[in-house]
Amino acid sequence: MLENVVEFFKNLPDKHCVECGEKIDEQSECYANTCEHCNTL
Ligand SMILES: [Zn+2]
């Protein structure tokens, strides 16, 4: 199960939030490794 998740993210070119794993919209270059949701916490 966990390995599948790793492969899932490895195969995706999009950035994902390190907090929740949500896909990060690249509309803002200010975001480090967290999504808009976690970034505003
Ligand atoms: Zn997040």
Pairwise CA distance, residues 4 & 41, whole Å: 29
**How many other CB atoms sit within 10 Å of the CB of residue 17?**
18
pLDDT digits (tens, 9 = 90+) for 5-31: 888 767 767 788 899 998 887 665 555
Quick check: 33 and 18 in contact, CB under 8 A? yes
The mean pLDDT of 27-39, rounded to a whole number, is 73
Ligand 1 centre distance from Cα of residue 6 (Å): 17
Ligand 1 centre distance from Cα of residue 10 (Å): 17
Ligand 1 centre distance from Cα of residue 25 (Å): 11
Which residues keep their CB under 5 angstroms from ion ligand 1?
17, 19-20, 22, 35, 37-38
Give the per-residue pLDDT at 1.
65
